[in-house]
Copies of this chain bind each other. A is one copy, B any other.
């Protein structure tokens, strides 16, 4: 089956919008993706037909809500090849999933002097929770450095793999450099010294077929909103025995077994970690998003994005003063962060907005990385299953106009 991007685009109502009166070119899916019709229809169906609280209701719609909710868990488990649905905890987003591990696993297992190993390319969401853990426990943070091309320099990190190492937290794919990391090999390394590995899949899982058992990670965190799902839903995958051994994170309804006045016992995993009424509609919506992605096929999506990023890479390099960050297309996912001469990223994004082209500018929640790169802000175009080469052309044309407008090329103002 050939990849019919124009047909897929029909599924996404927002892509038919205009922006500033121009056809919308949405190139910010790394921030959040757009949502296809089947996901929106599922949300609608939930609220119109099955809406009830889950797990303890004896009546039909509550039973339906529960069944759909737990079916979504099973769907997500299948998507990342978890051994069983009980390994899937629903959270608000990847950020909460990582914090859950830092609090529940971290506070119980990390001591002063232990090392948590991160990388220099981590998103704040996979950095700040560990800073807070380090402050609570006296553990030390270390960082796998980058080489000149924005890849992890594993040789330089060799020294951290010893018995002080408790956890490696590493992103599957960088949201700035685009680098796809060799997580499986990092995991082998870490396991050799009995350290656990948390993979931040916020950028990875939406774009790359992910198999937690083959990868052999201990934890995986990702967000529904970046993979065609609703906002307000994220996932923590954890090995069953690890989750069972962890103390709870939030206390409240649903996560308990027996509650007495001054102490309680806990429900089984995953419910132990889902205190209070969960994001029911959103979990079910995420299940629909997974099914949508599976129908197209993660490999087909990845191939499509790969073609787009190669094309973009080529076209963008024609621009005077174009400077990309991160490795060449062979080693990257579907995004490009760049600077353009000494045009400021925010001016670029503002100008592109006027052209109907939505890209992101800033530190992309990776301030330390930008410090390392020696630039305060970059512009970033990111692609997903619904983007086209025509949109890449629109991006490049708009950037050309921006160069003109701000007078970099000609020092004269053009009208837009």
Chain A residues packing against B (C-beta within 8 Å): 13-14, 17, 19-20, 24, 26, 28, 31-32, 34-35, 40, 43-44, 47-49, 51-53, 56-62, 92-96, 98-99, 102-103, 123-129, 131-132, 134-135, 141, 143, 223, 225, 230-234, 248, 250-256, 258-264, 275-282, 346, 349-350, 352-353, 357-362, 365, 367-368, 371
Contacts and interface: CB of A to CB of B under 8 A. Distances in A.
A244 to B, nearest CB: 18
B14 A31 contact: no
A59 B43 CA distance: 27
Contacts of A34: 51
B47 A40 contact: yes
Given A28-B53, A128-B252, A128-B255, A281 B232 contact: yes
A95 B255 CA distance: 11
B51 A98 contact: no
Given A52-B31, A259-B124, A277 B352 contact: no
A56 B96 CA distance: 20
B367 A96 contact: no
A279 B279 contact: yes
A349 B59 contact: yes
B92 A125 contact: no
B35 A52 contact: no
Contacts of A52: 28, 31-32, 358
A275 B95 contact: yes
Copies in the complex: 2
A99 B254 CA distance: 14
Contact of A223 (B28, B129, B230, B277): B277
Interface of A is mostly: mixed
A252 B51 contact: no
A392 to B, nearest CB: 17
B32 A277 contact: yes
A253 B58 contact: no
A58 B276 contact: no
Contact of A94 (B93, B134, B276): B276
Nearest to A133: B251
A118 to B, nearest CB: 9
A223 B233 CA distance: 16
Contact of A232 (B57, B92, B135): B92
B19 A59 contact: yes
Nearest to A281: B231
Nearest to A263: B131
A246 to B, nearest CB: 13
A223 B264 CA distance: 23
A96 B92 CA distance: 11
Contacts of A20: 60
A107 to B, nearest CB: 9
A358 B124 contact: no
Given A43-B43, A52-B358, A93-B278, 6 more contacts: A40-B44, A40-B47, A59-B358, A96-B275, A126-B252, A232-B281
